[in-house]
Structure 1
Amino acid sequence: MFAPLSAPGNLRLRSTFTAYAPHDLLHGILKHVSRSFYLTLNVLPEGVRDQMGLAYLFARAADTIADTDLIDRDQRLKYLQQFRMQFASPEIHWEDLREMQAALAPHQMDSAESILLQRLEDCFKLYETCSAGDRMRIQWLMDVLPRGMEMDLTRFPGQSAADLTALATLDELDQYTYYVAGCVGEFWTRMVCAHRPAMSRWDTEKMSAIGVRFGKGLQLTNILKDIGRDLHHGRCYVPEPLLSAAGLTPADLLDGRRSLPLFRPVLSQLIKLAMQHLDQGWIYTISIPGFEIRQRLACMWPILLAGETLKRVSASPDILNPAVNVKAPRTTVYRVMALTILSGANGYVATAYWNQLKKSFS
């Protein structure tokens, strides 16, 4: 999955991809833009690997547009909507794309994201060589996913603690997690069902719905992991009614040492929700045929690492501090990878690990 959405292997381009997909486009940029998804992408089986990588690059480009703070909010919304409309049109509007690149690329502090924006034309040329079915699936994703970025820009009016705003309801949080990650689970399911013969027995609608839960769990994990930094950038994804029930306001969370004891029950409630979503993701993963080892690994890794991250979120004595990093360390990443690879993505072995993680929250 993209979120938190995401191994060894060399890229071999399939017939749907041509010379517009050099190694550095799908792998070199991804490796620098998102090391976690690079692992997931590389372990995916051929036939879906390239399409997933391309879709991720488009998703990351939309995120980069939304996060370009040196451009005013209205302009970012304009370019984000313009970018989304590229996928709604039967033809690519190259002049609009170049205008957006010229406006945004010089303002990127991260060199990998600057390169990604500069290479968007290549990404769209590659997109044009996809099969009609794959283009339709990517079009659907890129109609839904940028709505989450638009929600960030319209729902949160500022970029500092002085502008702090919270989501209004739990339903709003659920909608947000669907836009930015739940829809990826649906897209992922439809893509693997279209290209992997072993998935022909899956009920696509049923598994897509479970895939949505999978994606929501990954995004909620990201929200909880980054809660301190987001608060100081004016964004409180914790719904206001949950805070009110605990006797808190969004502004109270800025004083983490004082508010954390009251916030703990709210945090536990959201961790429980994330784990419930991830547990559905685990059902999704174990439903993948056992011989589809690469697919299983691509799903096991983000779930297990999300569980490890939530364990650290729960245990952190200073989770509201923007300087605190609770991301699973590399040693844990390597342990998860070693366990699952050496066991051949065995369901019994990996499920035992997952169940042990779940016990951390009981």
Structure 2
Amino acid sequence: MREPSRAFLLGPLLKGVSRSFYLTLRVLPARMRDPVGLAYLLARAADTIADTALVAPERRLALLLSLRRQVNGNMGDAAPAPSIAAELARHQQLSDERILLESLDPALAMLMQLDPADRQAVRQIVSTLSEGMEFDLRTFPDERAARVVALPDLAALDHYTYMVAGCVGEFWTHMTAAHVPGAINGDSGAMLRSGIRFGKALQMTNVLRDCGKDLRIGRCYLPASLLEQHGLAPRDLLLPDASARARAMMHALAAMTLDHFQQAMAYTLAIPRRFVRLRLACLWPILIGMETLLLLVRNDQWLDPASASKMPRSQVYRMVASSLPMVWSNGLLRRWFAHQLRGIEAVIR
């Protein structure tokens, strides 16, 4: 088989393994697309390794650490990319994920062709994201162990959301500053902090949306200390009445998520209006995230995996189209956000 090209990696393959990120990448300023797209592919490959449940967790961890070493250029005793693909590809139910693993070699070659500063930034973000995956594999039981383990407290949840998403906001901000002069104005430290909270907003939304599914493989990202405050234990969240019993706790976490989203919106509004592509790339995840959060807080069966609060793709596309007139106007964006905020707060307050 002919080795996949850059165009294939950042085109059909990326589209196949991402839900909405492909749209974001396509609208990004051209100079950001290669490092950001490649970082996504490598992180998604690492995530596929970590999530292949038919392989024992300790073996997945070994392969994950091996990929991390290769990304960082430390071959040593790392298993070659083709070996990782050969071991895991046959276990993938989705053909795009199998192709992704089989494309690791050209993806790693593309990494070496990046500008040194971009290469280092991609290595750092993929390493941090893989640390979040390592945390999962070390913290939670085997998916078939019939046990549920919860994170201990809110500090652990906050650290987790940094490792798996907050760091992406940090990376995004560095890439923007490097490749889009003038887009990051004023206090760059404040933008970095807001960027981190941007990522945490999206991940907290994912944590709440996917809670029912995660519980059934033994993972409870809702902190044990918070569960205890509401008279709950992790296994109680699997009971038929769990959605109702845990609703007040979910509302408290949704309120925390809204605070993060306010920083995400501030981040987007701080980008000058002439950088339309960059503003759209930031706006779309907020639109989707806030709508998902609204669906979630209105969902009486939010802990039932069969009733997951997920937007259909057709709705995502409609939302993307409706954002085009708004992106030019801070006033319209503020009004839209305030409307969504009031809708969510009316349910959780």
Pairwise TM-score range, normalised by the shorter structure:
over 0.9
Is it true that 1:227 corresponds to 2:211 in the alignment?
yes
Following TM superposition, by how much is the alpha carbon of 1:161 offset from its aligned partner in structure 2, in angstroms?
A: 7.6
Q: Could you tell me which of 36, 41, 44 is aligned with 1:57?
A: 41
Offset, 1:339: 2.3
Q: Which residue of 2 aligns with 1:311?
A: 294
Matched, 1:203 2:193: no
1:253-272 matches, cutoff 5 A? 253-256=237-240, 258-272=241-255
Give me the whole-angstrom Cα distance separating, in 1, the residues matched to 2:37 and 2:308.
Answer: 27
Deviation at 1:28, TM superposition (A): 0.4
Deviation digits for residues 87-143 of structure 1 (CA, Å, limit 9, x no counterpart): 333679886222212211121111100000001111111111100110111111122
* Letter matched to residue 357 of structure 1: Q
Measured after TM superposition, the shift of residue 325 of structure 1 is 2.5
Correspondence 1:294 to 2:257: no
Q: Does the CA-based 8 Å contact 2:89-2:101 persist in structure 1?
A: yes
**Which residue in 2 is equivalent to 1:182?**
166
Measured after TM superposition, the shift of residue 260 of structure 1 is 2.6
Following superposition, which runs of at least 4 residues in structure 1 exceed 4 angstroms of deviation?
A: 90-95
List aligned pairs for 1:152-191, cutoff 5 A: 152-160=136-144, 162-191=146-175
CA distance in structure 1 between the partners assigned to 2:242 and 2:78 by the alignment: 50
- Contact 2:301–2:307 (CA<8 Å) still a contact in 1? yes
Match of 2:343 in 1: 360
Q: Alpha-carbon deviations, 1:142-164, whole Å to 9, x = none? A: 22110110111111112148211
- Unaligned runs of 5+ residues in structure 2 are none
Once residues 175 and 90 of structure 1 are traced to their aligned partners in structure 2, the CA distance between those partners, rounded to angstroms, is: 26
The letter for the 2-side match of 1:230 is D
**Fraction of identical pairs, as percent:** 42
Partners of 1:66 and 1:153 within 8 A in 2: yes
- Helix, strand or coil for the counterpart of 2:307? coil
Once the two structures are superposed, the pairs formed by residues 90-129 of structure 1 within 5 Å of their partners are 96-129=80-113
Specify the alignment match of 1:16 in structure 2.
Answer: none
Deviation at 1:331, TM superposition (A): 4.6
Alignment equivalent of 2:61, drawn from 55, 68, 77: 77
Deviation by residue 1:61-83 (Cα, 9 ceiling, x = unmatched): 11001011111111110011111
Change (3 A) 1:118 1:62: same
Q: For 1:190, give the aligned amino acid.
A: H
Amino acid of the residue matched to residue 80 of structure 1?
L
**1:274 matched to which residue of 2?**
257
- Equivalent AA in structure 2 for residue 320 of structure 1: L
Tell me which amino acid in the other structure corresponds to 2:287. Answer: L
**Would the aligned equivalents of 1:21 and 1:126 in 2 still touch at CA under 8 Å?**
no
Q: CA RMSD in A?
A: 1.8
CA contact (8 A) 1:313 1:319 kept: yes
Question: Partner amino acid for 2:116?
Answer: A
What SS class does the counterpart of residue 162 from structure 1 fall into?
coil
Tell me the distance in 1 between the aligned counterparts of 2:97 and 2:121.
24
- Give the 5 Å matches for 1:11-50: 21-50=5-34
Q: Whole-Å Cα distance in 2 between the matches of residues 20 and 160 of structure 1?
A: 36
Alignment CA distance shift 1:125-1:93 (3 Å): farther
Report which stretch shifted further, 23-32 or 126-135: 23-32
Looking at structure 2, the residues matched to 158 and 43 of structure 1 have their Cα atoms a distance apart, in angstroms, of 39
Give the structure 1 partner of residue 322 of structure 2: 339
- Is this contact kept in 2: 1:178–1:215, CA < 8 A? yes
Deviation at 1:346, TM superposition (A): 2.4
Q: Report what 1:13 is aligned to.
A: none
Alpha-carbon contact 1:214-1:278 (below 8 Å) kept: yes
User: Is residue 227–residue 249 contact of structure 2 (8 Å, CA) maintained in 1?
Assistant: yes
Cα deviations across residues 270-300 of structure 1 (Å, max 9, x unaligned)? 1111111111011000001101001000111
Q: What is the alpha-carbon distance in structure 1 between the residues aligned to residue 192 and residue 260 of structure 2? A: 13
Contact 1:190 1:204 in 2 (8 A): no
Q: TM-score, normalised by structure 2?
A: 0.93
Find 1:142's aligned residue among 126, 129, 144: 126
Structure-2 separation of matches of 1:228 and 1:105: 27
